[in-house]
Chains A and B, each alone.
Chain A
Amino acid sequence: MRRNTFTIRTAEGISFTQQLAGPVTRFLAFSVDLAAVGVISQLLGELVMFTSIISPDAALAIRTISYFVVTIGYSIFFEWIWRGQTLGKRVLKIRVIDAEGYRLRPAQIVIRNLLRIVDTLPALYAVGGIACLFSKRSQRIGDLAANTIVVYVASEPIPNLELLFSGNYNSLRSHVHLAAELRKTITSEEARLALEAITRRAELDPNCRLELYRQLAEHLRLIVAFPEESLEGLTDEQYIRNIVDLIYRPSEEVRSKK
């Protein structure tokens, strides 16, 4: 069964997940690389043909060899110097990594690229594509032999949560004892749900969002009952925001006690 993610569990008990690149993305990256090989070969061919003034035979020999070297060596060279990326992989934001999460070794790069010859059989990357579809970690034959995988390069910046905690007036904050009760009673799953509901606001369909917020606010009201006057005029969304604010941003007094 093919998976979309690849999880590494370290000796320290840390688990982290990376998203595996699927066959379609990889094929698109390969197409870009194919175009790049074509352009490089053409340019090199034109350049070499200048030497035909001295010896046409030598020029054709160099052209034959340089075309061969470019087609075989392009991916090896770029994956080596760009640590697992070619031009196509850069464009598609994917990268080759060791299947155990270690540093990619030059020998692995060479093997995975030399075995491409089998992956392209009988035509249009059929063997590689099928292997990729049926492999648990979307590996083509070359990846299996070299023990490599291709993942999305998720150079995610640290998210800015300032917008979440915008510093707006929170009418619930004045009820210090109820806020403390809320923090004590709410489970981490409920808190996580409330936080995700706010952070993923833009991803939700407006009607679904209203319904979700209604149900969630109703559930949260059962955990701790804040006085009616504090809830007056608060929409469900604002109520959830205030709850999240109380949970994840306790007052300065609570913080200093820690």
Chain B
Amino acid sequence: MLIYIVKRLLVAVPTLLAVLTVVFFFVRIAPGDPTFIILGDQASQQAIAAVHHELGLDRPMLVQYLDFMSTVLQGDLGNSLVTHRPIWNEVANVLPYTIELTLSALFIGVVLGLPLGIAAARHRNETLDYAARIFSLLGLSFPAFVSAIMLLLAFAIELHWFPVISEARTGDPLSRVSALVLPAVNLGLIMVAYVMRVARSSMLGVLGEDYIRTARSKGVPARVVIWRHALGNALIPVVTVVGLYLGVLIGNSVLTEIVFNRPGLGKLIVNSLNQRDYTMLEGLMVIYAFIIVIVNLLTDLTYGLVDPRVRQR
């Protein structure tokens, strides 16, 4: 297992470095000079040169690149062009909101999706199975902002069960929870659709295996066959899909935060786009890419933990 971990780490590190390089050059190559944001369009040549010097933009590209890499690798993402505060502070202010949102969505997705998928596989081609499959196709068809708007219309605007704007007052746990419900349900239901599909098809695959037939023919009750014999193997693809789904989940959380006007990384990225805050964008891209690379690594490691065959590859 240790060798497997080291091998996976050796793959993840160059990927991360390459990702940082792409982010750096992409932001530099794109048209538009960040100085104009600081000074406005009417700035004099001297003022522009001064700001360029201050930001280090007058140095050769290679020097800027090495400087960027070394500061980022030391965990320093620099300051926002607009607020001049460290990017880490801005991120740390809203990160708890995004984490609580994505974790509750994951929770809803697994707790509802897994049993639903298993039940659909057990009752294959019966009403329950068809209903579950139609639900999951519907879930996959909803762009997150569309479902968010529908939930908002139904439960906040029409029924008044939840606040329309989910910016919770700090220090009031009840308002924080009630502000979380609709956004979490929105992300969670889409997640249920993904988890259910994979759980169903992987359960169907496992139930066709010889060892399951053996267990059945020995007279093991169906419930025990499903939960003790089949579930362990059926879980492996589910773990991968939860990892792969993270990219979708991040995108969906951006949209959900916009619709529910909720603080978080998504709102931060959209605001910095509107204000053309390049350094903030760069920092957020680095953080997102880090999260994805690390979660992929964790997924692979979990995979290796659950399935010893993977380690040997």
Query: Do A and B interact?
Result: no
| A interface residues (Cβ-Cβ under 8 A, vs B) | none
| B interface residues (Cβ-Cβ under 8 A, vs A) | none
